[in-house]
Amino acid sequence: MRNGANDAMSGFSERIEKIRHLADAKGLEAIVLRRNPNLAWAIGGRVHVPVTLDQACFDLIVTATSVVAVANAIEAPRLIAEEFPERIDVIVIPWWEGRDPHLPNGSKIGSDQPGGERIDLGADIEKLRQSLVAEDVERLRVISRQTAVVLGKAMREIQPDDREIDVAGRITSALYGADLDVVFMGVGGEERVRKFRHPLPTTAPIGNRVIASICSRRKGLIASTTRIVTFGELSSAHYEEYLNILAVESAILGATRIGEDFSRPIEAAVAAYPANGFDAEEWTNHHQGGPMGYLPRDWPANRTSTQKILPNQAIAWNPTGKGWKGEDTILTTASGIEILTVDPTWPSLTIDQRLRPDILRR
């Protein structure tokens, strides 16, 4: 039995029971999972082959008494050996055949993806996975901490004559060396950080400032964070801008409470931007973040979001302005939020009694 298998099986059982309870509540005989984030959540493992495809490499059928995967002969051996919990039965089909004929259909079958005569349960399944089970919480804590530490180490190796793609290469190599996939990589040097909110790395030199924003993934679970490095003297005016972004972030974090609508932290952001020296419409220039876990963001929260903040929910807020950004993965708990992407060796400062990452000055 592989290391940690008992905990993994416990998490798998809890997630499958959630699906079965949903099927029972809807009066269904089975639920078919087809979407990447939901399948990764269900098995606690990797479900992709090309990272650019939304289509997973198998489908999962959950009934009251069984869990069955449908996969082709290329993927099935690897999935069985490396990804599937032992309690999953597998239907193996030739690689040239589609999986659809092997999936149940009809008005008594639900699915997370519209198709056939199945009942669309996409929103219901999304809500199930957003409140993490205990095993997921512990895995996310480890993934988040390692992500922050690995990113911090890579950022310390940056040189002012590096190009953005050099920085991205260092970070990517470090993440894969720690068994973390790269889901998103944003790197912006001094010429681009004020222009673009999602600066995909280019051959531009970074100059005296670089911001790196990443989403890393292990076995489906994703951590999101941002770190900033400057070279040479940082003016007091520019540093004040960064502190102001952290003040906006602090207002958002303070409004993030279990049971509240997701619109509440957004309203806090809308008020906090002008209160901290930004234009009143600054919040409209970039989404402020939202729930995450098995996607970098399940959806960006906005002023009309009525979805409730759930217990044990992973969230990443990312206020931006004037070329600065704050971002970390957090977890909602009964006692408040827990910041997960923490690097104890990175310079820090305290904002409203929370330890937040400072700028690393080189």
pLDDT digits 0-9 by tens, 120-171? 999 999 999 999 999 999 999 999 999 999 999 999 999 999 999 999 999 9
CA distance 35 to 91: 18
pLDDT band at 82 (very low <50, low <70, confident <90, very high): very high
pLDDT band at 290 (very low <50, low <70, confident <90, very high): very high
pLDDT digits (tens, 9 = 90+) for 249-274: 999 999 999 999 999 999 999 999 99
Strand partners, 72: 93
Which pLDDT value is given to residue 5? Answer: 52
Which pLDDT value is given to residue 2? Answer: 40
Which pLDDT value is given to residue 3? Answer: 37
May I ask the CATH class of domain 5-128?
Answer: alpha beta
Which pLDDT value is given to residue 51? Answer: 77
Which pLDDT value is given to residue 7? Answer: 59
pLDDT digits (tens, 9 = 90+) for 42-78: 999 999 988 766 789 999 999 999 999 999 999 999 9
CA distance 362 to 356: 19
Give start-end residues of each CATH 3.40.350.10 domain in the chain.
5-128
pLDDT band at 116 (very low <50, low <70, confident <90, very high): confident
Fill in the DSSP letter of residue 346.
S
Mean pLDDT, all residues of the chain: 95
Where would I find the H helices in 157-235? Answer: 164-177
Mean pLDDT along residues 301-314: 98
May I ask the CATH class of domain 134-361?
Answer: alpha beta
For the cut 90, the answer to whether the pLDDT of residue 281 exceeds it is yes
Rg (CA), the chain: 22
Mean pLDDT along residues 211-215: 98
Q: CA-CA distances (angstroms) from residue 128 to 38, 41, 63, 294?
A: 9, 10, 16, 12
| Collapsed DSSP state (helix, strand, coil) of residue 59 | strand
CA distance 184 to 217: 10
